[in-house]
Copies of this chain bind each other. A is one copy, B any other.
Amino acid sequence: MDIRAGLLKGDKRAAARLITLAENGDEDAVKIISEYYHLTGKARIIGITGPPGAGKSTVTDKLAKLLRQQNKTVGIIAVDPTSPFTGGAILGDRVRMNDLSTDQGVFIRSMATRGALGGLSKAVHDTVRIMDIYGMDYIFIETVGVGQSEVDIVKLADTVVMVMVPGLGDDIQAIKAGIMEIGDIFAVNKSDREGAERTATEIEVMLDFNRTTDFRPKVINIIARDNDRVDKLLEAIEGHWNYLCKDSNYQTRKKNNIKTEIIGLINQYVVKSIQNDNQSNLIQNMVEKVYDKQIDPYSAAIDILEKVSLGKQQS
């Protein structure tokens, strides 16, 4: 199969194969994405995040269906906080999207937080780009909103929807707090449950007290399962897009994301450099020295950096 030709012709298998290559850290994948980089930037990227149990999959599912009714094509990248230890958890979640997965205008991809060689963040970036080149109008990145790396991933979206849920208790409040600042829209899902109004009010209060930018996120009570007020959520997403299109908002956000990505890539290349065949002895020797307390880890790191030839290794 010629991936290049397939990708441009809209062959889903070609796109899927390229994503797998990218996930495995294959150099060819990077080459192909680089070649077609000028074709990216057309897709709208929506991050869907929130605490476990908030119903993120269902929200994504319903939003995707609404967009399909408007004849928009939709990519979905589901980042699951699971591991090679039990791969099963991914499947259960994705089964709910079954009716979407037979739709040719929908492209679903699950991604584990481990296992992606060369970093999850890069794998998600690459997948977004491939789906963009492939021609998806909207790309959803769905990830559980706890943990620094997961938060970093969702930040690459144009619009971040925080999915909340009533009555998660005090302990979840701390997590909610940690991810609050990255939300552009807050959806209180399962709003038929007790305390939905209170949760919405709490969020509103936090937003009033803490917001630093001129954009004021909307808080919307929804019941995704029943498709209740999901259209209002989509309207809010469009509203945020309109905000981005004003002045230099979009540019600023995009450039910040590009900077973060480049720094991430540099880090990856550095790690690759110091772990490659010629230089792996260097780090192993240093580990022995640190273990024997002949040198401290800080000095060891600097020492390796001075000895390693980073630039050349890449060319």
Residues of A near any B CB (own CB < 8 A): 30, 33-34, 37-38, 40-41, 51-53, 80-83, 85-86, 88-89, 92-93, 113-114, 120, 125, 144, 146-150, 169-175, 177-181, 206, 210, 251, 254-255, 258-259, 261-263, 265-271, 274-275, 283-284, 286-288, 290-291, 293, 296-302, 304-307, 310-312, 314-315
Checking B34, B210, B301 against A266 with a beta-carbon cut-off of 8 angstroms, the contacting residue is: B301
Whole-angstrom distance from the CB of A310 to the nearest CB of chain B?
Answer: 5
Instruction: Using known A-B contacts A37-B293, A146-B146, A177-B86, determine if residue A298 contacts B53 with beta carbons closer than 8 Å.
Output: no
**Chain B residues, CB < 8 A from A174:** 52, 80-82, 89, 93
| A53 near B291: Cβ-Cβ < 8 Å | no
B181 adjacent to A83 (CB under 8 Å): yes
Measured CA separation A40–B149 after assembly (Å): 29
In contact, A113 and B302 (Cβ under 8 angstroms): no
Q: How far is the CB of A90 from chain B (nearest CB, A)?
A: 8
A304 contact set on B, CB distance < 8 A: 262, 266
Whether the pair A311, B315 counts as a contact (CB closer than 8 A) is no
Contact A53 to B171, CB < 8 A, known contacts A147-B146, A147-B147: yes
CA distance A189 to B297 in the complex (A): 36
CB distance from A216 to the nearest CB of B (A): 15
> Nearest B residue to A304 by beta-carbon distance?
B266
Chain B residues positioned under 8 Å from A172 (CB to CB):
52-53
Chain B residues, Cβ within 8 Å of A120: 148
Query: Can you offer 24 A-B residue contacts whose CB atoms are under 8 A?
Result: A30-B298, A33-B298, A34-B296, A34-B299, A38-B293, A51-B52, A53-B171, A81-B175, A82-B174, A85-B210, A88-B177, A89-B177, A125-B297, A147-B147, A259-B283, A262-B300, A263-B275, A265-B298, A265-B301, A266-B301, A266-B305, A267-B270, A305-B310, A305-B311
Q: A52-B172, A89-B177, A305-B269 are in contact. Are A287 and B258 (CB under 8 A)?
A: yes
The residue in A88, A147, A305 that gathers the most chain B C-beta atoms within 10 A of its C-beta is A147
CB of A119 to closest CB in B, whole Å: 9
Q: Measured between C-beta atoms, what is the minimum distance from A126 to chain B in Å?
A: 9
Q: How far is the CB of A151 from chain B (nearest CB, A)?
A: 8
Partner of A297, one of B262, B300, B307: B262
